[in-house]
Amino acid sequence: MNDRDAPGLLSRFNAIRAHSLSLAAPLSPEDCTVQSMTDASPVKWHLAHTTWFFETFVLERFEPDFYPFDPAFRALFNSYYNGIGAQHPRAQRGLITRPSLDVVLAYRRDVDNRISALLARASPGELYDLVELGLHHEQQHQELILTDVKHLLSCNPTLPAYSEDAPAGAAQPVLSWRSFAGGVVEIGHDGHSFCFDNETPRHRQFLAPFSLSESLVTNAEYQDFIDSRGYTTPAHWLSDGWDWVKGQGLTHPLYWSRAGDSWVEFSLRGAQRLDPFAPVLHLSYYEASAYAQWAGARLPTEAEWEHAARQAPDLPYLFGAAWQWTSSAYAPYPGFAAASGAIGEYNGKFMVNQYVLRGSSCATPEGHSRPTYRNFFPASARWQFAGVRLAR
């Protein structure tokens, strides 16, 4: 069904909104309220904030006789939109014990019903565009629900499982290389379907000939890096990375722990014996860069990654296993212009002190990945499902 007609878009809206609730279903109200660190948010906050997005950017603009579900929610569940007004401090989201989870779910039902009524009588146009943006925004938060819950449960000394049916890593092939000729290539989205503004405009870049690894770096390969004193050899590390790893006292990836002579990894399915053939996950940019240096390779640029994904869509594990760090700083493409108003704060203002990741992970919702997608995080971020594809 065409999702640019009212029934098609409403069907997608209902399915994506329902999926968020299904992600919260294995959790208790207590699980949904706690915040494990500043970078993470409670599940209850994710459920409320995605609803706030539709209420604030869609209903407030297009609904006749608009009224807020609760005026206090305008600041309480605003993430970073200064054009909207005040925000509750990010580090204190775990202190929001009220409204309760039941009230947040009632908030979702109210806004869902009102969005459905709008779509039933609207024609394609700006309203559809904002609903579409809200759906992709919600899918981003669906992935964050899983990453944030994993970190939260890892802090529990009983190491509880989120779900026995949670996504897991896939086995990787033996390391081999795919070569690409390079040349002048086009990078960025062509604008013929949905994309975020940071994927545009499409532009040309020159690439020297390069190769990418067919597989992602595995746990076993990364264990070799650890065993060869990778975390204690400064020659492998960027200066900031070396200061970071020494200051943190790190000796292995997030969620790894020793059990006698073996490694155990905490997963969404609970504590598991480390699978040597699965892709290594939860690496920072610093760790990814250090591994590539140790391996006699490097991280790809985002232009190399995107060109390879277009030229060789059969390249294994481009999508669905792990986000892949690139060596590219998160910066605007030539000619980039953010949208006017508060909605323009979505991406552009974060284009500093971050690196781009490409692909998608086992936690990414179906239909939410494409070759031009630009994910981005600070160099020290580890709690995302991020791994390594090598280049040379």
pLDDT surpasses 70 at 3:
no
Q: Is 163 part of any domain?
A: no
Please state, in angstroms and rounded to a whole number, the distance separating the CA atoms of residues 365 and 325.
19
Number of structural domains in the chain: 2
Q: Write down the pLDDT at residue 165.
A: 82
Same domain, 257 and 122: no
Q: Write down the pLDDT at residue 1.
A: 33
Rounded to the nearest 5 degrees, what angle is found at the Cα of 207, between the Cα atoms of 206 and 208? 125
Q: Write down the pLDDT at residue 173.
A: 67
337: domain CATH number is: 3.90.1580.10
Q: Is 1 part of any domain?
A: no
Same domain, 185 and 97: no
Q: State pLDDT tens for residues 247-284.
A: 999 999 999 999 999 999 999 999 999 999 999 999 99
Q: Is 162 part of any domain?
A: no
35: domain CATH number is: 1.20.120
Same domain, 188 and 146: no
Q: State pLDDT tens for residues 66-114.
A: 999 999 999 999 999 999 999 999 999 999 999 999 999 999 999 999 9
Q: State pLDDT tens for residues 281-325.
A: 999 999 999 999 999 999 999 999 999 999 999 999 999 999 999
Same domain, 188 and 137: no
Q: Is 296 part of any domain?
A: yes
Q: What are phi and psi of 202, to 5 degrees?
A: -65, 140
Single out the residue in 154, 189, 210 at which a domain terminates.
154
Same domain, 121 and 242: no
Q: State pLDDT tens for residues 155-201.
A: 999 999 999 887 776 766 677 999 999 999 999 999 899 999 999 99
What is the extent of the structural domain holding 84?
6-154
Same domain, 322 and 212: yes
Q: Is 166 part of any domain?
A: no
Single out the residue in 91, 120, 154 at which a domain terminates.
154
Same domain, 288 and 358: yes
Q: Is 159 part of any domain?
A: no
Q: Which residues contact 120 (CB under 8 A, 6 or more apart)?
A: 6, 10
pLDDT surpasses 70 at 65:
yes
390 confidence band (pLDDT: 50, 70, 90): very high
Same domain, 90 and 181: no
Quickly count: other Cβ atoms within 10 Å of residue 85's Cβ.
Answer: 11
Q: State pLDDT tens for residues 190-234.
A: 989 999 999 999 999 999 999 999 999 999 999 999 999 999 999
